[in-house]
């Protein structure tokens, strides 16, 4: 029988979808106040993979991802998703969001996004939040699943995640050595 083990801490990242640069700066400040300094930023890229957000948030949406220096326990993701939902609500106008915040984490093995929407491939994490494994890491590269979001297959996000993973793996190696596992 396998003994239960507490997993290693993981790297928090947040994808920000927006149309207003000043709003991005405000939200970025709140996120850094809440989760600490950013250690990796993606390029800003057009979010034109779907029209899902257009009615609510308007045209000309862009996206940027950022990861944080401070690692988190994987089971902290539901609280972070609830916190980012609250931030979205703070900036909403007439019940319509002006910013979309999608928190997730990167581990040595995968990329997990938090969502309030259930589906057959998602696992309940608690507090009304589900975990969605968007990417798996094997053989020195990220692998997609049939349900991987189109933007998570794009070079902008893959490049960001690869850079963020390099930073994370230095911390992961330290955690492994501290536990005598390497």
d(CA 174, CA 122): 30
Is 34 within a domain?
Answer: yes
State residue 48's pLDDT score: 92
Does 2 map to a domain? no
The pTM (predicted TM-score) of the whole model is 0.96
Q: What is the pLDDT of residue 179?
A: 84
Rounded Cα distance between 63 and 150, Å, is: 13
Q: What is the pLDDT of residue 182?
A: 59
Assigned domain for 152 exists: yes
Q: Which residues pair with 84 in a beta bridge?
A: none
Domain that holds residue 46: 10-178
Walk along the chain (182 residues) in steps of 10 and give the mean pLDDT of each run.
93 98 98 99 94 91 98 99 98 97 98 98 98 98 97 97 98 91 64
Q: How many domains does the chain contain in total?
A: 1
Q: Is 4 a member of any domain?
A: no
Q: What span, in angstroms and rounded, lies between the C-alpha atoms of 176 and 181?
A: 5
- Residue 103: phi, psi to the nearest 5? -80, 150
Pair 162, 143: CB distance under 8 Å? no
Q: Is residue 3 part of a domain?
A: no
- Reference 74, options 162, 11, 126, 166; nearest CA is 11
pLDDT of residue 51: 87
């Amino acid at each position: 029988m396998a003994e239960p083990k507490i997993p290693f801490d993981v790297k928090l990242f947040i994808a920000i979808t927006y149309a207003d640069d000043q709003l991005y700066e405000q939200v970025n400040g709140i996120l850094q106040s809440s989760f600490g300094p950013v250690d990796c930023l993606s390029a800003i890229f057009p979010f034109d993979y779907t029209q899902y957000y257009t009615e609510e948030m308007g045209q000309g949406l862009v996206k940027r991802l950022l990861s944080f220096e401070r690692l988190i326990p994987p089971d902290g993701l539901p609280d972070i998703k609830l916190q980012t939902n609250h931030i979205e609500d703070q900036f909403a106008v007439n019940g319509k969001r002006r910013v979309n915040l999608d928190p997730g984490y990167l581990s040595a093995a995968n990329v997990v996004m938090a969502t309030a929407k259930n589906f057959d491939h998602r696992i309940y994490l608690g507090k009304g939040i589900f975990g969605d494994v968007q990417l798996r890491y094997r053989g020195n590269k990220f692998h997609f699943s049939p349900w991987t979001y189109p933007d998570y297959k794009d070079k902008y996000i893959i490049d960001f995640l690869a850079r963020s993973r390099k930073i994370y793996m230095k911390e992961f190696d330290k955690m492994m050595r501290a536990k005598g596992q390497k």
